A and B are shown apart, each in its own frame.
Chain A
Amino acid sequence: MKNNKPNRGLALMQRLALAPYSVWSVLFIVVPLLFIAYYAFTDSAFHFTTDNITRFFTATSEVADGDGVKLVRTYLVIFWRSLRLAVISTLICLVLGYPFAYLISRAKPKTQGILITLIMIPMWMNFLIRTYAWMTILQDTGILNGLLGLVHLGRVHIIGTESAVVIGMVYDYFPYMILPIYSVMTKMDVRLIEAAHDLGCSGAGVLRRVIWPLSLPGVISGITMVLIPSISTFYISQKLGNGKFYLIGDAIESQYVANNLHFAAAIAFILMVILLISMAFMQRAANKRASV
């Protein structure tokens, strides 16, 4: 004999509460992603085609090479460049950010709070303005060169090079690397480090054998949070690269502006797939660590 009436009203109410979001999330999160696939695999008359995808892999363009020109696969070059710059930026963020996160986690609680807040402040500056400010700093006649001139260190030409783009990306995503690593480090039991010292480990040894392995989940999280936006960024390359380096994000945007929606979707689709694969790898790496 099932006696469930007093709780049935409550359960119904709870299910109703979730309904709007369930519908919304399917309609506006899941379905649009399907639309990317749909547009990617159709032509302007909406007939099925793989032309858009193949165009990504086969389109060529002429590029200056020394004295003459050479033919390169346009979008593969763009993709490779995006990947390269993203990886470089991520590595720089990691190398600079890991020690910094460690530093913060060992500071007094009050100091920790202040430092973390300070790190997050640049995130509130508008993305476009951030980029623009870096432009003025890095210009040939910009602030950096002005300062260098003051101390007679000669000028540097950064704007319009890949380095400028990397600087822009590192600046944008640096906090996203620090926060997860810091978060894991603060949760680390101090007594583990004390135990390691007690058992004979030096400072470096503790870092290598205790702290680094335990902070790995944070590191992986940080890498994910920097790599993925870095690959798909646009505008930074246009402004800091003086329009000389197209990244995947720029490619998508320019196709959109030219109203080549299907090709834009194709590029986006390929980007999505690549990101999915790399996230799956990250998950496996994270899970492997967890089971160790």
Chain B
Amino acid sequence: MNKIIELKNISKSFDGEMVLNNINLDIYDNEFLTLLGPSGCGKTTTLRIIGGFETADVGDVVFMGERINDLPPHKRHVNTIFQRYALFPHLNVFENVAFPLREQRVNKNEIKERVTEMLKMVALTGFEKRSVTSLSGGQQQRVAIARALISRPKVLLLDEPLAALDLKLRKDMQQELKNIQKAMGITFIFVTHDQEEALSMSDTVVVMSEGQIQQIGTPIDIYNEPKNAFVADFIGESNILDGVMLQDYRVSFSGHEFECVDAGFGLREPVDVVVRPEDVDIVPEEKGMLRGEVTSVTFLGVHYEIIVDINGFKWMIQTTDYEEVGAHIGLYIEPEAIHIMKKSEYSGMFGDYSSFSMELDELSDAESELGE
């Protein structure tokens, strides 16, 4: 696999605020790569730097071996799908898709051939004369895709393109985009804040926060082996606790010692421990490695979400078994279910499951301070 884009030491500030902080990323040929993170993490800025709409303050953007920092957007072999599609309202579907070819002065017959081919690929045959403003969101999306791909760029940049679609359509488009990427064999760089989307579509996920890359990996790696508390909290639900690595394959947390499958940490090193809610088994209290009281049970259709108070720390467990509020239960955690991470600046930020959001966390912190 060849490297098609390399970002080296990219930094950028806006109005004195650092938006990207020393970003290093290699992007390969024929890869579906997703930049994932909350708003403001810098993922869109990174995308725009690749597209040429922003310039990095520091660092190099290398495209197929050449430094392209100074190359304006219209000269780059990179095309963009914008968040609200940016279809030209004064042109119909055909003319929108033909736009780049007309710019390149391709001859009329070839234009007609290629546009027809593209429209077929996005299942919009017959829509040539329609005005773009009369199309539905999904249809506009597909015109944008056809327009961006017709000049056969090496890389396609997608800036949260599915954000405006409703759920079922979004799922269909996710599949379609994946198929198109595989069919055309070009690199897709996808930006989203929706972690489910990222996990389902990508070959590689790049998790970003506050202008820095937190982790690069396949969806499975990111999910099963998050590198720090931020990634663990952002992807899926996690119970994140303080623990101590007693020795290789042995960790202590919540007042109990557990066998685990990680090694390579220092003796008695303080670590962050991650246990996914779906990996915890509920057992009768006496048989549990940990014991606690159920404080809330929520029925979500697919499973129950049960909050258990264990020594003051609220765990979340996802299970299809019903437990009553107030029941005393035991938890059994397999070694493979325990994931150890090094401590980072994000340790301790994410608390337990007494609340889901940061806002409510702050409120209850404030309350408890007043109480004292």
A interface with B by C-beta (< 8 Å): 1-7, 9
Contact = CB atoms under 8 A, between A and B. Distances in A.
Interface stretch (B64-72, B89-97, B243-251): B64-72
A4 B58 contact: no
A2 to B, nearest CB: 8
Interface string B45-67: 00000001001111000000000
A3 B55 CA distance: 6
Interface of B: 52, 55-58, 69-73
Nearest to A10: B72
Given A6-B70, A6-B72, A6-B73, A1 B55 contact: no
Contact of A7 (B55, B56, B57, B58): B55
20 contacts: A1-B57, A1-B58, A2-B57, A3-B55, A3-B56, A3-B57, A3-B69, A3-B70, A4-B55, A5-B70, A5-B72, A6-B52, A6-B55, A6-B70, A6-B71, A6-B72, A6-B73, A7-B55, A7-B72, A9-B72
Nearest to B58: A1
A9 B71 CA distance: 12
A4 B71 CA distance: 10
A6 B55 CA distance: 8
Contacts of B56: 3
A61 B71 CA distance: 76
A7 B69 CA distance: 11
A12 to B, nearest CB: 13
B176 to A, nearest CB: 32
Contacts of B52: 6
A44 B57 CA distance: 61
A1 B57 CA distance: 7
A39 to B, nearest CB: 47
Nearest to A7: B55
Contacts of A6: 52, 55, 70-73
Nearest to B76: A6
Nearest 3 CB-CB pairings of A with B: A6-B72, A5-B70, A3-B69
A90 B57 CA distance: 57
Contacts of A2: 57
B69 to A, nearest CB: 4
Given A2-B57, A4-B55, A9-B72, 5 more contacts: A1-B57, A3-B69, A5-B72, A6-B71, A6-B73
B54 to A, nearest CB: 9
A3 B71 CA distance: 10
**Most-contacted residue by chain A among B69, B71, B73 (CB, 10 A):** B69
Contacts of B55: 3-4, 6-7
A9 B74 CA distance: 13
A3 B69 CA distance: 6
A150 to B, nearest CB: 59
A184 to B, nearest CB: 31
Contacts of B71: 6
B67 to A, nearest CB: 9
A5 B69 CA distance: 8
Contacts of A5: 70, 72
Contacts of B73: 6
A266 B73 CA distance: 57
A2 B56 CA distance: 8
Contacts of A1: 57-58
Nearest to B56: A3
A1 B9 CA distance: 12
Nearest to A1: B58
Nearest to B55: A3
Instruction: Identify which of A2, A4, A6, A9 gathers the most chain B CB atoms within 10 Å of its CB.
Output: A6
Contacts of A9: 72
A2 B55 CA distance: 9
A2 B73 CA distance: 17
A99 to B, nearest CB: 41
Nearest to A6: B72
A95 to B, nearest CB: 46
Nearest to B69: A3
A7 to B, nearest CB: 7
Contacts of A7: 55, 72
A5 B56 CA distance: 11
Nearest to B74: A6
A4 B56 CA distance: 9
A107 to B, nearest CB: 30
A2 B57 CA distance: 6
A236 to B, nearest CB: 47
A174 B72 CA distance: 54
Contacts of B69: 3
B193 to A, nearest CB: 27
Contacts of B70: 3, 5-6
Most buried by B among A1, A3, A5, A7: A3
B231 to A, nearest CB: 31
A3 B67 CA distance: 11
A20 B298 CA distance: 68
Contacts of A4: 55
Contacts of A3: 55-57, 69-70
A2 B70 CA distance: 10
A40 to B, nearest CB: 46
Interface centre among B52, B55, B58 (most CB of A within 10 A): B55
A1 B56 CA distance: 9
A4 B12 CA distance: 12
A5 B67 CA distance: 13
B68 to A, nearest CB: 9
B4 to A, nearest CB: 20
A9 B257 CA distance: 65
